[in-house]
Amino acid sequence: MLIFKLFRKDEWLKFKASGRTDGAPIDVSDGFIHFSKASQVKETAAKHFKGEKDLVLVSCDADNLKPDLKWEISRGGDLFPHLYRHLLLEDIICQIEIPKIKGIHKFPDTFQ
């Protein structure tokens, strides 16, 4: 199963340069890296990245992040994947840029 993490462009560039990240400031504060399932990522963008325009969406295989990946109840009682270790560049399967068009983040059509 693929899970997804949104990065601001500057966070992504720092991650690429260092090869590892503890995530965004909220991830560091919470003690884990927040991920979303495909069905959750658009709402995550709208809620937590509304004012951002240059986002990068990365995907990871959830099985490859075990045993450090935990599924925990979050927004609306839904289960969200949380990573309790550094995210490594080698964990990333794919990355795509998410532009903001007319005030809305434009995701690929595969994200409903």
**Domain CATH code at residue 63:** 3.20.170.20
Give the range of the structural domain holding residue 41, as residue numbers without chain letter.
2-104
Q: How many domains does the chain have?
A: 1
Q: Residue 20: inside a domain, yes or no?
A: yes
* In the predicted structure, residue 74 carries a pLDDT above the cut 90: no
More confident residue, 74 or 105: 105
Q: Residue 42: inside a domain, yes or no?
A: yes
Of 56-60, 77-81, 82-86, minimum mean pLDDT range: 77-81
pLDDT in tens, 3-45: 999 999 999 999 999 999 999 999 999 999 999 999 999 999 9
Q: Residue 65: inside a domain, yes or no?
A: yes
Q: Residue 111: inside a domain, yes or no?
A: no
Q: Residue 36: inside a domain, yes or no?
A: yes
Q: Residue 46: inside a domain, yes or no?
A: yes
CB proximity list for 95: less than 8 A, separation 6 or greater? 12, 56, 57, 58, 59
* In the predicted structure, residue 105 carries a pLDDT above the cut 80: yes
* In the predicted structure, residue 112 carries a pLDDT above the cut 70: no
**Residue 33, burial from CB neighbour count under 10 angstroms (0-12, 13-18, 19+):** buried
Q: Report the predicted TM-score, pTM, of the whole model to 2 decimal places.
A: 0.93
Instruction: Using DSSP, state whether 26 is helix, strand or coil.
Output: helix
Q: Residue 112: inside a domain, yes or no?
A: no
Q: Residue 109: inside a domain, yes or no?
A: no
